Structure 1
């Protein structure tokens, strides 16, 4: 049987991000390490624990926290309330922490179309008020921030994440989800992250698609 559980050693996310300038291949297990828990457990190519998501809530929880191997919050994925569309917000760290407000990084929206399409979701940079920087005016997106488009099929575990910096810019693939070579079922799959893209954000996209697929 294919080994899924991690080794004793753990790997810090910053180590995963820079691995000889090559694409990083992670194994995602759609299962929590906690007994009777729900979530995800993510390993590197050596079987070391990298990320985890743990939840006891049934169904599709409104808020999910992506943690590193030591349990530190990296990103929070929160479903937006009272929205006319299916929208989620992605925050740095633990958005529920009372110590300090977590910076908002992205707004994600499920792609809705009456026609068959490969598009599944879109992530746009969170808009920050210019008044927060000392000036007046309307909200603006961070300079140089990318938009991300997700295409494929989550149920088939076949996804591509594309980045584009703006209108007219050629988009590039920054991450992909694909099935494992061994027949281990749909709850174990690969997440391939291209150089320069944040593995934690790639995993946040997986969590988003799982939320959208379950809702």
Structure 2
């Protein structure tokens, strides 16, 4: 399994990639009393990541951390156009804050689409760095029924899927408990960033 507890600034900059499919549980609750955010558990039930939003839901600035409280990345919302743009910035890259914000790790925008059968859906397009090739561009598709969404690259390859968590007996848990399934050889930290953007966009964290 890929390392999920970075211990140095250099590891914070490196993608967390596993050769196996990984399954995480996302609880859309903060561990901080009266806070907002989410808590991420691995397949063994251990807390591996957390996002705390001390202000309000869908804040314009949030921080994603490991269990020790080290910030792995932050996400800022910028007012550009009707829906704005989310920008992710990795920590530990040695950049000063003003320089960091000039070079986002990824950018993401929300887009709406109308479907004949389901009545509607929403999606997100994201680009890493310059976004000039398929491996740096991503699409997130979700329906309005909040049953989950899938993350793909622009070549159509499935990278991750988020859906309601079920017990071994098939009982579907509450809307605030989700399964995150990440396919092999995917950048887990980037996927986590896109999942956070989805939560902020849908006002669920």
| TM > 0.5 | yes
Contact 1:90 / 1:107 at 8 angstroms: preserved in 2?
yes
User: Which residue is 2:124 aligned to?
Assistant: 121
Tell me the distance in 2 between the aligned counterparts of 1:104 and 1:22.
Answer: 28
5+ residue gaps, structure 2, are none
Deviation at 1:101, TM superposition (A): 3.2
User: What's the secondary structure of 2:44's corresponding residue?
Assistant: coil
Deviation at 1:114, TM superposition (A): 5.2
Verify: 1:107 aligned to 2:107, yes or no. Answer: yes
Deviation at 1:63, TM superposition (A): 0.9
Tell me the distance in 1 between the aligned counterparts of 2:82 and 2:121.
Answer: 22
Question: Taking structure 1 as reference, are residues 155 and 98 closer, same or farther at Cα in structure 2, changes over 3 Å only?
Answer: farther
Tell me the distance in 2 between the aligned counterparts of 1:184 and 1:114.
Answer: 28
User: Which residue is 2:143 aligned to?
Assistant: 153
Deviation at 1:155, TM superposition (A): 5.4
Verify: 1:203 aligned to 2:201, yes or no. Answer: no
1:80 aligned residue (70, 78, 96): 78
Give 1 or 2 for the bigger CA radius of gyration: 1
Q: TM-score, normalised by structure 2?
A: 0.77
Identify the structure with bigger relative contact order (alpha carbons < 8 Å, sequence gap 6+): 2
Deviation at 1:156, TM superposition (A): 2.3
5+ residue gaps, structure 1, are 1-9, 128-140, 165-169
Question: Taking structure 1 as reference, are residues 120 and 35 closer, same or farther at Cα in structure 2, changes over 3 Å only?
Answer: same
Tell me the distance in 1 between the aligned counterparts of 2:112 and 2:195.
Answer: 18
RMSD between aligned residues: 2.9
User: What's the secondary structure of 1:196's corresponding residue?
Assistant: coil
Deviation at 1:119, TM superposition (A): 4.9
Q: Deviations over 1:118-151 (max 9, x none)?
A: 5511002333xxxxxxxxxxxxx46674210001
1:12 aligned residue (5, 27, 36): 5
Q: TM-score, normalised by structure 1?
A: 0.74
Deviation at 1:25, TM superposition (A): 0.2
User: What's the secondary structure of 1:214's corresponding residue?
Assistant: coil
2:21 aligned residue (20, 23, 38): 23
Tell me the distance in 2 between the aligned counterparts of 1:198 and 1:100.
Answer: 26
User: Which residue is 1:175 aligned to?
Assistant: 160
